Amino acid sequence: MDVISVIRTKRDRGELSPEQIDWVIDAYTRGIVADEQMSALAMAILLNGMNRAEIARWTAAMIASGERMNFDSLSRPTADKHSTGGVGDKITLPLAPLVAACGAAVPQLSGRGLGHTGGTLDKLESIPGWRALLSNEEMLNVLDTTGAVICAAGDGLAPADKKLYALRDVTGTVEAIPLIASSIMSKKIAEGTGSLVLDVKVGSGAFMKNIEDARELASTMVALGTDSGVKTIALLTDMSTPLGLTAGNALEVRESVEVLAGGGPADVVELTIALAQEMLTAAGIKDADPAKALADGSAMDVWRRMISAQGGDPDAALPVAREQHVVTASASGVLTRLDAYAVGVGAWRLGAGRARKEDPVQAGAGIELHAKPGDTVTAGQPLMTLHTDTPEKFEYALASLEGCYDVAPAGTAFTADPIVLDRIA
């Protein structure tokens, strides 16, 4: 077996054999296949796709590259959630403690930013002292004592995916449906959760730009999970507009804490509660009220214990960027469009994301929104504030925001799209 023949097979739109898939995943994990060779194969998969059998085998090979976890010792049923990535998508932060407050255990393995989308671990690392890297024993202990844990997948869990995940981010292959599905599901199946809810984003700020591709991805992942004995459902949710009013690491943590305190933007609260209800139902918990757990402070209590258990200080001040730049509305009227992708790229260019897998991120960088579609704005009023430690990045970020919003005449009727577009189970 050699990597060139594997690349050529997929380049020429052939079907990879089970033996080719098993070999290339194992060889890449062990360093026999180089990054540039796997980049070529990933691009061939992006352009030519994989069939259902190939995706299933690729996922199985990723799982087989490492260990599998087990949560049978817990007294609670387990439920996990995964988002395919969006702009301002801080939902995991309030969701994990909320579901734990309602009686489930939430073993949330999360990742870094991918392209223009933020990473949960990058966000949480803006909290002083918080640790993403936990041993399996530490993870189980935090989960057992607090009900929820958000951490990085250990080195022993699907290590092939860890290498490929970082490579996809810097080679323009993030959007490949087979690679998205296998990346997500290999970690979730190996993780050992009993049930899984998938938040598959649709729209300009998502990797899936149209609902047909999103349904394909969701159906693929639901089938992979179900076939592996994990109760799996997917919600297709709108990502044409950023979620909430912030895109950036510390900015999104601050907004998540507002949600846990019973406030926060209505769209973030709505989606958090919708996903919480799906997770609780999948875990067999039918009498819990997520909205009540947000209102009475019990979700906040779990958040504080969870952050503390991972070395973080829930009372510490969050980082603030040294420089700000305000973008004002160009006209008066009704804001009818605010493009999520443009805002995500802008936040990324300000330092909230990374261009190479080795790059650091700025904790305080990002974009704060002062209006959302449907709001009335006046010419000259602040529309968004850009935050960064490196003011030379403003020009580059502003270029991505050109034409990112529309303002219609005052009195123009506006109806927002629903947040939840479809459900696949």
Report the catalytic residues: 82, 161, 168, 183, 187
* DSSP E strand stretches across 183-268: 195-202, 231-238, 246-248
379 conformational bin, left if phi > 0, alpha if psi -120 to 50, beta if neither: beta
* Amino acid (1-letter code) at residue 329: A
Contact by Cβ (8 Å): 228, 189: yes
244 conformational bin, left if phi > 0, alpha if psi -120 to 50, beta if neither: left
CA distance 279 to 108: 12
Give percent helix, percent strand, percent coil of the chain, each to the nearest 5: 45, 15, 40
Neighbour tally for 385: CB within 10 Å: 17
State the DSSP H helix or E strand holding residue 37, giving kind and residue range, or none if neither.
Answer: helix 35-48
According to DSSP, the β-strands at 106-110 and 148-152 are parallel
Contact by Cβ (8 Å): 424, 212: no
Rg (CA), the chain: 21
Contact by Cβ (8 Å): 108, 137: no
Neighbour tally for 141: CB within 10 Å: 14
Instruction: Name the 3-class secondary structure at 163.
Output: helix
CA distance 49 to 42: 10
